[in-house]
Structure 1
Amino acid sequence: MAEAKVDRLYTDHGVSGTLASRPELDKALDRLDRGDTFVVWKLDRLGRNTKNVLEVIEDLIDRGVTFRSLTEQIDLSAGPMGKAMLTILAAFAELERATMIERTRAGLDAAKSQGRVGGRPSKVDAKKLATIKKLLASGEHSRAEIASMTGISQATLYRVISTL
């Protein structure tokens, strides 16, 4: 971005490009004035889908703001040809996102069908679960004591209890 001579850098950390509300993007768009150039690293970071990307860029053009994507090298000053290229690239970005989601879901489904579960391993194994059940059934200990005795947090204990 330094090579692109960017004055201000806005980044929505941990926010998906598919979300409608992205505070830093909104802030950047609000601060633009006529004659400014809005630079993005990649077109797919700009909007949720082709329609959304085109709406954002149309708004920029209407406000007299130049648009530049560093990855795709889009030149909107090329007239209708530039806009056609933008539309095609935005559609491909949407297709790429949809394909990635589809592959991720297929991978998760395949892993699930093989008995694998996502996430980190549970802190409560079969032996610990049996101990928890026994302590609960005895009625002699508070839940805080049971959590302490089994080496788990109270939140984990309550989660285990909710599945019993």
Structure 2
Amino acid sequence: MTKFAYVRTSTRDQNADLQRDAIAKVDGIKRVYADEGISGTLASRPQWDALLDRLEPGDEVVVWKFDRIGRSTMNVLEAVQRITEKGATLHSLTEKIDTSGPMGQAMLTIMAAFAQLERDTIVERTRAGLDAARAKGRVGGRPSVVDAKKLATIKKLLASGDHSRADIARMTHISQATLYRVLSTL
């Protein structure tokens, strides 16, 4: 069994000394991997990826706090899953959770349940907000670059039959993709 530690700060201005001091008190750490100035939301964190690649069954990853391996509960659970898929365990110093034992596994199960609840609640609120906006006549997304006047011009140019669609797009200052999208709704 080899112990590795992981340290992360979100911005270059943040200081990792608190994390490093806490990790220095843990016996047997072979190497500390550190991503400094890198957000936890990024899919690729070089040192985190290197740590995961190196893990072998029986290894342990030590972190100062769970939020160092992910920004949301779902991110943390995905990170823990990647660690456990390698046959390794995670030990969080601040939360005092160690996934090598049954209590740590139980805590992760509870966290997973809350993460799913959080995700489902966000989806439900988003749908309700979109439905309410639609009921008021609002549509999400970017405003259309084709207003009523430009649409009338497009229809007139098409009806004349004298211009290609590429010419019409150029003349109305829109992309061909936008023109084709507009024509698909006619």
Take 1:74 and 1:139, find their aligned partners in 2: how far apart are those partners?
74
Take 2:81 and 2:33, find their aligned partners in 1: how far apart are those partners?
24
Residue identity matched to 1:37 = V
Distance 1:155 1:119, change over 3 A: same
Matched, 1:44 2:67: no
Deviation at 1:46, TM superposition (A): 4.2
Give the counterpart of 2:89 among 66, 87, 103: 66
Matched, 1:110 2:132: yes
Give the counterpart of 1:83 among 74, 98, 105: 105
Taking structure 2 as the reference length, what is the TM-score of the superposition?
Answer: 0.64
Q: What's the RMSD between the two structures over aligned residues?
A: 3.3
Per-residue CA deviations over 1:33-73 (Å, capped at 9, x if unaligned) read 3434165234410457xxxx88656435xx2x231468x82
Distance 1:78 1:36, change over 3 A: closer
Take 1:156 and 1:77, find their aligned partners in 2: how far apart are those partners?
52
Distance 1:74 1:153, change over 3 A: farther
Take 1:94 and 1:160, find their aligned partners in 2: how far apart are those partners?
39
Residue identity matched to 1:7 = Y
Q: Look up the match of 2:175.
A: 153
Take 2:137 and 2:92, find their aligned partners in 1: how far apart are those partners?
43
Per-residue CA deviations over 1:124-152 (Å, capped at 9, x if unaligned) read 00111011001000001111111111111
Q: Is the contact made by 1:132 and 1:150 (CA closer than 8 Å) also made in structure 2?
A: yes
Deviation at 1:160, TM superposition (A): 0.9
- Identical aligned residues as a percent: 55
Moved more, 76-85 or 122-131: 76-85
SS of residue paired to 1:7: strand
Distance 1:59 1:145, change over 3 A: closer
Taking structure 1 as the reference length, what is the TM-score of the superposition?
Answer: 0.71
Q: Is the contact made by 2:91 and 2:97 (CA closer than 8 Å) also made in structure 1?
A: yes
Provide runs of 4+ in structure 1 moved above 6 Å.
24-27
Q: Is the contact made by 1:147 and 1:154 (CA closer than 8 Å) also made in structure 2?
A: yes
Residue identity matched to 1:67 = L
Q: When you count helix as a share of all residues, which structure comes out higher?
A: 1
Q: Look up the match of 2:147.
A: 125
Distance 1:77 1:69, change over 3 A: closer
Q: Is the contact made by 1:37 and 1:68 (CA closer than 8 Å) also made in structure 2?
A: yes
